[in-house]
Amino acid sequence: MAQPPTIYKTGPLRSYAQKSSERNLELVPGSLVSSYKKPTTGNWFHVIAETNAYVANPSDYDATIQVTYPNAVSAQIFGQYAKEFIQSKGYTPDNIVLSNSICSDDVDGPVYSDISNIGQTPASQNQFLGAFMSGGLAGYPHTGVLGIQAWGSHVTTTTQGGLFMINMPHIGISRAGEVGRIWRRGKTEAQSLTDNTCGAVATAVAWVAANGSAPVDTSFPNDYQNFILCDILFPSKAALAALPTYGEKMAFATEEIRLAGDAFLTGVSGITGANVGAGIDAFYCTGTFINADDGFNAYVDVTAFKKYNSVGGWVDLTTEFLAGL
């Protein structure tokens, strides 16, 4: 049976020093230390955040992820490279409004620098403005046209800013190689082995398998996002049934949801039809966000990277982006 993962320290190191007393700013000689958390004994205070202290996952976890997603990279590395790439196009990341179409799942929350939380969206994305949360269950862009319009209206105009949309449904892969599952904090071994990620995708896959007719929105009262996911997956009912394992069904369904979100966002009623602003560059990246066991870093598998401008239309930058990732 799979064993709980070893917990690795993640996030940036910070420098702390000790004061001689709570009211006195005099430093205790020789007290400067680097730590992932503020020491609990004594009058310690944060001095400097060391931003380059990212701790990579062990190589065996990388290999496990790449069985299903051969081109996946660390989410932290993706966020850092996306900043550098957009900067090479003439924008500073703190002048780009980010829209993140990712699942509402708590494991997709942000990584914090000074507390140990459970989110895995990398700190390297934090320099972008926002994020505008345009996703919902499974990461489909449920906020729709109005969400795109709202995000687009927030572009910085006094400094000629731009936009960046990330469209990534998520899937969990445990260190033991269980696709569609991860170890979550505070769970027993038995509970974690049944903890689906994404649970909304697993629920929609189960609904499609159990029903012979296409979903009707009135059959999902106060559960519209679930209806959308079932509606996306139902045409693939036979394909899903033909897949022998839970993990294969989850990977297939996650990709179908990504394709549906991508078709909307890059179609005539998405970013193009929302009129995000004349002459404004809107960068767009789609792929899969891959959650890891608690204590490890997430991964990203990039499918496409593009730029939209109402003046010149869509420009595919995928080859250029992936060449440096």
| pLDDT tens string 206-215 | 999 999 999 9
pLDDT at 5 over 70: no
Phi-psi region of 186 (alpha: psi -120 to 50; beta: other; left: phi over 0): left
Q: For the segment 171-208, what is each residue's pLDDT rounded down to a tens digit?
A: 999 999 999 999 998 887 666 666 799 999 999 999 99
pLDDT band at 298 (very low <50, low <70, confident <90, very high): very high
If one counts every other C-beta atom within 10 angstroms of the C-beta of residue 24, the result is 9
Residue listed under structure tokens 């007393």: 21
C-beta separation of 117 from 37 below 8 A: no
Q: For the segment 47-62, what is each residue's pLDDT rounded down to a tens digit?
A: 654 334 467 899 999 9
Supply the pLDDT for residue 194: 64
Phi-psi region of 52 (alpha: psi -120 to 50; beta: other; left: phi over 0): alpha
